[in-house]
Amino acid sequence: MQAYWMWHWGDYEIYHTYIMSNRRQEFGADYPTLWHGETAYPNVEFHLTAETDKPGYLTLHVNGKGYLLVDYRRYADGVRVEIGPGKHTVVVRVTKDGGLPAAYVESDVLPSGDGWLCTHMTAEKMPVGWRPVYDSPAMSPEQFPFSYEKVNPVKKESVQNEKSADGVLFDFGKELFGYVDINGLQPENQYGVFYGESREEALADKDALLFEYVEGKTSVRLTQRAFRYIFVTGSDQDQISLSAAYEYLPLKQRGTFRCDNEMFNRVWEMCRYTFHLNCRETYLDGIKRDRWPWSGDAYQSYAINRYLYMDRDIDQRTIVGLRGKDPVEQHINTILDYSLYWIIALEDYHMTYGDETFLKLIWKRVKTQYEFVSTRENEQGFLVGQPGDWTFIDWSEIDKTGAVCAEQMLYIRALRAMAYLAELAGESSAAYLEKADTLISRINSFYWDAEKGAYIDSYESGRRNVTRHANIFALLFDIADASQRESIIQNVLLSDSVRKITTPYFEGFELDAMCRIGNFGFFEDMLTSYWGGMLELGATTVWEQFDPTKNGAEHYAMYGSRFSKSLCHAWGSTPVYLLGRYYLGVYATAPGYKSFRVEPQLGGLGEIEGTVPVGEGDVYVHLTKSALTVKADIAGGTLLWQGREYAFPAGEEFRLVY
């Protein structure tokens, strides 16, 4: 029988999130996270009471220190324990300081893994955490299972950097993440290695975010970092060779898209590649600078994953890793809105996977997170950031005085998610729904400006400032009534007088709203000018922010530094989601895609084709101006086309010609 490494539920995700988040470096210095770090429980206990109808054996392997207790008799790890048929009680206790306490019980009758319970030396027991990949005593659960591929540069040239230092510039043709291997070094020489997402950054000497010096070696493998360009000083082309060990998560791609607009196909591929680079232990914001998981960024990543991989494991790892443990002492990532996104994402998770087991395991942490959020309510019931809280929303000139409207919109959506999750947990949803309804009424009293025909950012400042953010949320979360919706569309979304959004992050929300109201022309224009604009400037991955009025290396500056802008940011990959959701038109209508709808749209295109994951299967859609073909390999699909509904059987091609 197959055994697996097991650990306290949630600790694997928390451990790897902690290790990953503390690898960040900038300008030669380590850069720990801005929020408190969670670690695994140092002492854990595993339990199994089971009956076997034949004799067998157990041998314990531990990651840490510990022992095996079989029928109340203690054995050291590595000792083979023989047992007879009958009922047995098995206990394993493990401790490890600063790592991931885990146990592997090799056995032909009672192997470790599914079915065992765990506790962190308390009375409460819960199912253990385990993963199929950790199926050998030799494979440590502290080692994350990445895949590797050797990649050689596509070009190298002898150049001088901006400090007039001679060296060799290696170009890999596109952004990568991985180890850099250098051979042919002279041990008596010192070499500078400068990383760049852009050519300019690699040649900027110590203005590059990532660099280090090497001496005393003939060859070296440098730690994993992100780059497209590597500049090595103190060498020439004939002396050294350089390659990369590309490190990536081996995800199975299920979603595809193509159309008759080649620019859109290139945008989709750029977004796919950007997203994949940022899929690691958890979802990352950017692969070069932060390499941290951020809850708002992750909220969009869950949707992108839904239309590209539908990989449940990375969703779970991100959800658990972001949340950490009780007690709650600060907002997730210290950001008020990011705590709300974390709650909202759990309802989306259930609609995607129909996985009630996971949600019941994490429900206690959901409630304590919500309870912490509710401590930020003012006398009107609005959320207001306290000292130490960060009200982010977006990199934009939002009036963030006091209670910010966009936060209240997110709070309503989170309250509805709490109601949904409470029902799954067997608890009452009434209080959450009542609170959400009350909040809508108060928002309309305090924030709706009839003269402007829109929601204002803040009622406390007196400025009556209107931005797109709160109004977009009012549409996406079905908070605005019918007349308010029409007013918002005309006075905000279609108005050139309201400040434009400059980040791909919130542009994703705006485009979601635009597609929802059927304004596909706006989406296609943005895809061409914004994402296509980056492509025209040579981007191979999506940037953190893009301002088409800037020139040259001005595009790379952010946060007061010449090259701090991320040129590979996952929050810019939302076109993958939007093209799958609104053009291919596929979305769940019951948890786990037990039922789903296909509602395709051409917009301004002449042909679209692609696949979308639907639970355990996939649906294929091909639409032209004269024909529509749909085929799904699971049941439950309904096609909505030109006002009519069509049921289509699993495994058979359904075709309409018109």
- In this predicted structure, what is the pLDDT of residue 649? 92
- In this predicted structure, what is the pLDDT of residue 239? 87
Containing H/E element for 654?
Answer: strand 654-657
Cis peptide before 293 (omega within 30 of 0): no
The parts of the chain modelled with pLDDT lower than 50 are: none
User: Does residue 446 contact residue 459 with C-beta atoms inside 8 Å?
Assistant: yes
Distance CA 29, CA 380 (A): 45
Q: How many CB atoms lie within 10 A of CB 209?
A: 26
- In this predicted structure, what is the pLDDT of residue 235? 83
Among 594, 626, 630, CA closest to 609: 630
Distance CA 257, CA 373 (A): 39
- In this predicted structure, what is the pLDDT of residue 237? 78
User: Does residue 286 contact residue 278 with C-beta atoms inside 8 Å?
Assistant: yes
Q: Which of helix, strand or coil describes residue 441?
A: helix
Tokens encoding 128: 């253990």
Which residues have C-beta within 8 Å of that of residue 413, sequence separation ≥ 6?
340, 344, 473, 477
Containing H/E element for 442?
Answer: helix 430-446
- In this predicted structure, what is the pLDDT of residue 68? 98
User: Does residue 111 contact residue 40 with C-beta atoms inside 8 Å?
Assistant: no
For residue 54, count CB atoms less than 10 angstroms from its CB and return exposed for 0-12, middle for 13-18, buried for 19 or more: exposed
- In this predicted structure, what is the pLDDT of residue 360? 97
User: Does residue 382 contact residue 401 with C-beta atoms inside 8 Å?
Assistant: no
User: Does residue 629 contact residue 655 with C-beta atoms inside 8 Å?
Assistant: yes
| Single-letter amino acid, residue 74 | R
Q: In 35-189, at which residue ranges do the beta strands (DSSP E only) sit?
A: 43-52, 56-63, 65-70, 73-76, 80-83, 86-95, 102-107, 117-119, 126-127, 129-130, 147-151, 155-160, 166-183
Distance between first and last Cα of the chain = 57
Among 208, 241, 246, CA closest to 225: 246
Distance CA 26, CA 393 (A): 25
Distance CA 211, CA 96 (A): 34
User: Does residue 331 contact residue 60 with C-beta atoms inside 8 Å?
Assistant: no
Distance CA 424, CA 436 (A): 19
DSSP state of 52: E
- In this predicted structure, what is the pLDDT of residue 496? 95
- In the 3-class helix/strand/coil scheme, how is 580-633 assigned residue by residue? HHHHCCEEECCHHHCCEEECCCCCCCCEEEEEEEECCEEEEEEEECCEEEEEEC
Among 304, 390, 308, CA closest to 345: 304
User: Does residue 169 contact residue 156 with C-beta atoms inside 8 Å?
Assistant: yes
pTM of the model: 0.97
Containing H/E element for 229?
Answer: strand 219-233
Distance CA 607, CA 213 (A): 52
- In this predicted structure, what is the pLDDT of residue 553? 96
Which residues have C-beta within 8 Å of that of residue 627, sequence separation ≥ 6?
655, 656, 657, 658
Q: How many CB atoms lie within 10 A of CB 63?
A: 20
Distance CA 90, CA 5 (A): 15
Half-sphere exposure of 348 toward its Cβ, with a 13 Å CA cutoff? 24
Distance CA 168, CA 188 (A): 18
Sequential DSSP letters for 149-204: EEE--SEEEEEE-TT--EEEEEEEEEEEEEEEEEES--TTSEEEEEEESSHHHHTS
User: Does residue 123 contact residue 112 with C-beta atoms inside 8 Å?
Assistant: no
- In this predicted structure, what is the pLDDT of residue 552? 95
Q: Which of helix, strand or coil describes residue 107?
A: strand
Distance CA 118, CA 94 (A): 11
Backbone dihedral angles phi then psi of residue 261, each to the nearest 5 degrees = -110, 105
Identify the bridge partners of residue 62 per DSSP, sorted by sequence position: 103
